[in-house]
Structure 1
Amino acid sequence: MFRFADPYYLYLLIIIPLLIVLFYYGVYRRHQNIRKYGDPELVKHLMPTISKYRPSIKFWILLSALVLVALLLARPQFGSKMQSVKRSGVETMICLDISNSMLAQDVTPSRLEKAKKLISRLVDTFNNDKVGMIVFAGEAFTQLPITTDYVSAKMFLESITPDLITTQGTDIGGAIRLSIKSFTQQEEVGRAIIIITDGENHEGGAVEAAKEAAKKGMRIFVLGIGSPDGSPIPNGEGANEYRKDSEGNVIITKLNEEMCQQIAKVGAGAYIRVDNSNSAERLLNDEIAKLSKKDVESQVYTEFDEQFQVIAWIVLILLILEMLILERKNPLFKNVKLFKNN
């Protein structure tokens, strides 16, 4: 992969066409001035040491050197070679409920937006850890495979909306089973599955999936978000009207804490209630810190290698060549020619 570390210097190349125009304008003016003295062919014999081609050669050599200097300042680099490195950390799969009930606003600004902000701050605390994201509603799919690329993790997080999944429901079991398959095969690494959900319209099978994860050494932390008292679901973010059932009644969504606690218990983890404070974030960070850390093998890009040395040598050679080429013909060659004619 090729790139320029400081591409702004490439704007210097804008002056190249201008220099070419000025050079040829100068050539034109010189020819016009010669014509004022007489026939160019006759004047040519009066100036035997003046070379017709050498000034152009010197100009193009100097112009080439200028182009290469601009490229040199832009710092051309090659890289992108994959390399395995050892990092000390844990592996975390975050499962985010994106069903329509997560649009409820019993936590500010909404359950889903509160969850996304919590995940973003959690990712900011990671250091040499791996993280992946799964979104689920009536079904689950991987939004981000497990990685150490935290920038991509936050970028994918911003794009998450309930529109990603049309099938409604809360398939926590499917999210857990998909998480189990998403971890690396390295042994003795602390692994956590973080489930952020209101637990409503639970599809079933979550407890069995949580037991399976616990047997494989994974700990499940369930973050229950919302109010047990319930809240209406807006018809979109910030809407003044709420979703209604087939009979015209406003739908009230409630946090299913009992189910969340049961999953966390059999998953050898902990249940944490998410409210409008930051207490859930602190508690979760404490739990993640307790997990065993081990060197985790990661694939990362090697740093880009600077390639300016080759260009610098070419520039130096061109400048020396430009200095050695004289604009006038060498009288020595003229004497040699006369000597041969004699």
Structure 2
Amino acid sequence: MNFEFQYIYFIWLSAGVLLFLFLFSLVKRWKKRTIRKIGEPALVKSMIRGYSPFRFNLKFFLLCLAFLMGVLCTMSLRKPGGNDGIQRKGIDVVFALDLSKSMLAQDVKPSRLLFAKQFISKMMDAMPNNRVGLVWFAGKAYIQMPISADHSSAQMYVNDASPDVVPVKGTVIGDALEESLRSFGEREAKYKAVILISDGEDHDEKALELSKDLQKRGLMVNTVGIGSPEGTFIPDDSTGGNKLDPQTGRPIVSKLNQKELEQIAVNTNGVYVHLTDIDAAVKKITQQLAQIDKKVTGDTNLMSFSYYFWIFAAAMVLLLVIEQLLPEGKKAKT
């Protein structure tokens, strides 16, 4: 990999040379005006016979060059070194996890949500070369972690995921897909996939329409349905019982909506998995992801670098020393 500047945006500081040139021109004009005011040419020549315009200009040039070396030092030239996470051949995968209250249902033990979190953990273990991102959604979707090769941080976010993180009620799968696409940070969706885990309880026509557009852009969406088609009650921690329908007063039964999740997967060339066996689900989705062309990805947060700013710092100090030692007057004749 080639050299690069860590803080390239500091290049604007080099514009300071223009200020120096302006001040230098003012000094030159002042000198000329002063000479003209003296008037007598012979007297002027006698007074400035030891002055060297060349050395005066050279000292200014050395100062400007030293300043530019300082700017380059600030920009911090570096080069990646070693093999610890510099480049990985893989794809970018976003996990979109449903955190709606229905995910607390216990038709899957210990609960739909805890079972889904176990699946995500094993899925990340099965694809160490892939970068991952996280999107949480319920009645609202947002990016929890942008695309990164830092699986350990992703695991911490997964462990802490709960319905309390997204207090808005509902299951907006369409918004989750939009946020997943946005988290990639690029318009190009090649080498990218989404793994959406949900009970799909709310019907979201927007998600079905959006999935067709995602397929055209090359994004694969693999869907994971969790829960049972027969459904079960949703625990209510505030009462210790089950959540009740505010209109009828009866316990709410949450059922897995497989049809919508299956259609999203079909529309985007992905696969649908009913999550009952974690190892089997990981194997099936891993095989599907393997069909996506791999590319070399890098994460600068995990790279080790060799830094070369000291070269410019040394050059700056050397130029300043030379400028100070260089006399402004002409060399005396012997």
TM category (shorter chain) comes to 0.5 to 0.7
The offset of 1:85, in angstroms, is 3.5
- Give me the whole-angstrom Cα distance separating, in 2, the residues matched to 1:164 and 1:133: 13
Once the 2 structures are TM-superposed, how far is the Cα of residue 82 of structure 1 from its aligned partner? Answer: 9.2
Pair 130,230 (structure 1): closer, same or farther in 2 beyond 3 Å:
same
| Equivalent residues of 1:130, 1:146 under 8 A apart | yes
Q: 1:255 to 1:188 in 2, by over 3 A?
A: closer
Q: Deviations over 1:30-76 (max 9, x none)?
A: xxxxxxxxxxxxxxxxxxxxxxxxxxxxxxxxxxxxxxxxxxxxxxx
Q: Which piece of structure 1 moves more, 183-192 or 142-151?
A: 183-192
Give how far 1:292 is off: 1.2
Q: How far is 1:227 from its partner?
A: 0.3
Contact kept? 1:219, 1:268, Cα under 8 Å: yes
Q: Which whole-Å CA distance do the structure 2 matches of 1:86 and 1:278 have between them?
A: 28
- Look up the match of 1:161: 162
Quote the Cα distance in structure 1 between the aligned partners of 2:255 and 2:263: 17
Q: Secondary structure at the match of 2:282?
A: helix
Deviates more, 1:293-302 or 1:224-233: 293-302
- Matches of 2:123 and 2:253 in 1, distance apart? 30
Give the letter for the 1:143 counterpart.
Q
Identity %: 37
Is the Cα–Cα contact under 8 Å of residues 82 and 300 in structure 1 kept in the other structure?
no
Q: Residue 12 of structure 1 corresponds to which residue in structure 2?
A: none
Please tell me whether the aligned partners of residues 111 and 225 of structure 1 are also in contact (alpha carbons under 8 angstroms). yes
CA distance in 1, matches of 2:139, 2:161: 15
Is the contact between residue 95 and residue 175 of structure 1 (CA under 8 Å) also seen in structure 2? yes
The alpha-carbon deviation at position 124 of structure 1 amounts to 1.1
Aligned counterpart, 2:89: 88
Counterpart code for 2:114: E
Segments of 5+ residues of structure 2 without an aligned counterpart are: 1-77, 307-334
Q: TM-score, normalised by structure 2?
A: 0.63
Match of 1:244 in 2: 244
Contact 1:82 1:301 (8 Å CA) reproduced: no
2 CA distance for matches of 1:164 and 1:300?
A: 26
Q: In structure 1, what is the equivalent of residue 210 of structure 2?
A: 209
> Counterparts of 1:128 and 1:243 in 2: how far apart (Å)?
42
CA RMSD of superposed structures (Å): 2.4
Look up the equivalent residue of 2:244 and give its one-letter code.
Answer: K
Report the alpha carbon displacement of residue 202 of structure 1 after superposing the two structures with TM: 2.8
What CA deviation, in whole Å up to 9, does each residue of 1:261-297 have, x standing for no partner? 1111112211111115532222112212222111113
* Worse-matched range after superposition: 177-186 or 108-117: 177-186
Q: Distance in 2 between matches of 1:284 and 1:266?
A: 16
Q: CA deviation at 1:225?
A: 0.5
8 Å Cα contact 1:169/1:202 also seen in 2: no
- Are residues 1:127 and 2:132 paired? no
Instruction: Indicate the structure (1 or 2) with the bigger Cα radius of gyration.
Output: 1
**1: CA distance, partners of 2:123 / 2:278:** 15
Q: Is the 8 A contact 1:137 1:168 kept in 2?
A: yes
Q: Which string of whole-angstrom CA distances, capped at 9 and with x for unpartnered residues, describes residues 224-253 of structure 1?
A: 10000011001139x852111122211100
Q: TM-score, normalised by structure 1?
A: 0.61
Matches within 5 A, 1:240-319: 241-246=241-246, 247-276=248-277, 278-303=279-304
Partner of 1:145: 146
